[in-house]
Amino acid sequence: MTLAIITPLNSGIREIVLESLKMKFVIYNKLTVAIFCNFQIHNKKDMLIDLRSDTVTKPTKEMHAAMMNAEVGDDVFGEDPSVKKLEEKCASLLGMEAAVFCPSGTMTNQIGIKVLTQPYDEVICYKGSHIYKYEGGGMAGNCLVSARLIEGDRGRLSVKDVEESINNYNDPHQPRTSVVALENTVVREGGSYYTLDQIKEVSEFSRSKGLKMHMDGARIFNALTETKEEAKAYGKYFDTISVCLSKGLGAPVGSVLVCKKEFEHQVRRIRKVFGGGMRQAGYLAAAGVYALDHHIKRLGEDHKRAREMESILKKLGWIEKVKPVDSNIVIFVIDNKFTPEQVLQRLSEYNIKALKFGPQEIRMVTHLDFTDDMLEQTNKIFKELSF
Ligand SMILES: Cc1ncc(COP(=O)(O)O)c(C=O)c1O
């Protein structure tokens, strides 16, 4: 059977693919037709490659079994053993005293900021941070605080950034600066990360000025994979740390707010207010425990694949810039002759999903369900994609 696929390209160019003959005709205008022989069709319909986020993974068979075998109880009454196990594990892992399981990273961030601030306070954070840019204005709405936005070094705040941003408490015009919030890794900056020394410096300085410390550690284990530092060492530098189980770690749902003991009761109270108290949540917590036990050690594979993609993208003429890839997030800026929508449409023809991430930016994130086969396929398609 001969299959012909006619794809409209830009400005009237047509592509006709004859699958059985392994031939492709590209008609540029009435006079110019190019014929490619031995052309391979790459859009294998059975291989969907979803690179929009590391949140798209599905539980592995083993994780699923751990979930189904979980012992559960009513966690709002504090009676779910699997949730307790997860909370104790997270607190101990990060060298902190307490932890509270919540439905999402947005909720753990919002609760963290809420318990560390009073209405009309100000939070110092990176200008592209998730807490500011991607939580629906929750800091303003839930916590009644303003944000002092910092450029940082690829999203990382320094002592100087903090020092220059602290308002004068004695001036009633200015909001009271009360929290420094660090994102680690920084999503908008190719997953850039802090070293423990950088964190120590910022934390010690900020605390010397009476400020509290929050970390959006949605991808903290990606950061630690790169720095090869001990998670346990982090706790002492923060009052609250949000850890996501449903990103690189591959659990289906959930984040944990790790905190100092003195904040635990208030964290549980605010979780209830936000509607985040879950009943037999142990099924989800068991996935989290499984993820912490089995999926941290494989994160380096995601980083390696992301860097391989980075090296391919850097060679493509229609890509203006690839942001440095520090962990599992690949962000590239396309030539302004094209729109992200055009590129995403072309990729979708080959069953590849990516995400528009700015006016000319596209994001791809590697994860547990992105295999070497998929990497090979993605790289091949990018190399052959023409506009
Ligand atoms: C850095 C960061 N923080 C927080 C969140 C929020 O997590 P959730 O989607 O579970 O609300 C995300 C989500 O992708 C994120 O990337």
CB-based pocket (< 6 A), ligand 1:
55, 104-106, 109, 130, 183, 187, 216, 218, 244, 246, 255
Q: What is the pLDDT of residues 111-141, one digit of tens each?
A: 999 999 999 999 999 999 999 999 999 999 9
Query: What is residue 386's predicted lDDT score, i.e. its pLDDT?
Result: 80
The 3 state secondary structure assigned to 272-337 is HHCCCCCCCCHHHHHHHHHHHHHCCCCHHHHHHHHHHHHHHHCCCCCEEEECCCCCCEEEEEECCC
CA of 132 to the centre of ligand 1 (A): 11
* Distance of CA 105 from the midpoint of ligand 1 (Å): 5
Q: Please report whether residue 65 resides in a domain.
A: no
Same domain, 272 and 232: yes
- Nearest C-alpha to atom 8 of ligand 1 is from which residue? 105
Q: DSSP H helical segments within the chain, as ranges?
A: 61-68, 81-93, 105-116, 130-133, 138-143, 159-165, 196-208, 220-227, 261-273, 282-294, 299-313, 340-349, 372-384
Residues 98 and 199 reside in one and the same domain = yes
Q: What is the CATH number of the domain that holds 318?
A: 3.90.1150.10
Number of separate domains in the chain? 3
Ligand 1 centroid to residue 197 C-alpha, Å: 25
Ligand 1: atom nearest CA of 107 is: 11
Q: What is the mean pLDDT of the chain?
A: 92
Mean pLDDT, range 5-32, rounded to an integer: 54
**Each residue of 50-94: pLDDT tens digit?**
999 999 999 999 999 999 999 999 999 999 999 999 999 999 999
- Is the residue at 230 inside a domain? yes
Beta 255-259 vs 98-102: how paired, if at all?
antiparallel
Q: Are residues 157 and 31 in the same domain?
A: no
d(CA 79, CA 94): 23
Q: Which residues contact 266 (CB under 8 A, 6 or more apart)?
A: 115
Q: Show the domain range for 382.
A: 43-59+298-387
Statement to judge: residues 29 and 82 lie in one domain: no
Q: Could you tell me if 153 and 302 lie in one domain? A: no
pLDDT digits 0-9 by tens, 141-150: 999 999 999 9
pTM: 0.89
Q: What is the pLDDT of residues 194-244, one digit of tens each?
A: 999 999 999 999 999 999 999 999 999 999 999 999 999 999 999 999 999
Residue position matching structure tokens 């509290």: 212
Instruction: Identify the DSSP state of 156.
Output: B
For the chain, the straight-line distance linking the first and the last C-alpha, in angstroms and rounded, comes to 29
Q: How far apart are CA 285 and CA 293, in angstroms?
A: 12
- Mean pLDDT, to the nearest integer, of 90-111? 98
- Both 315 and 282 in one domain: the answer is no
Contact 145, 113 (CB under 8 A): yes
The enclosing domain of 245 has a CATH number of 3.40.640.10
Using CA positions, which residue lies closest to atom 4 of ligand 1?
105
Q: Are residues 93 and 205 in the same domain?
A: yes
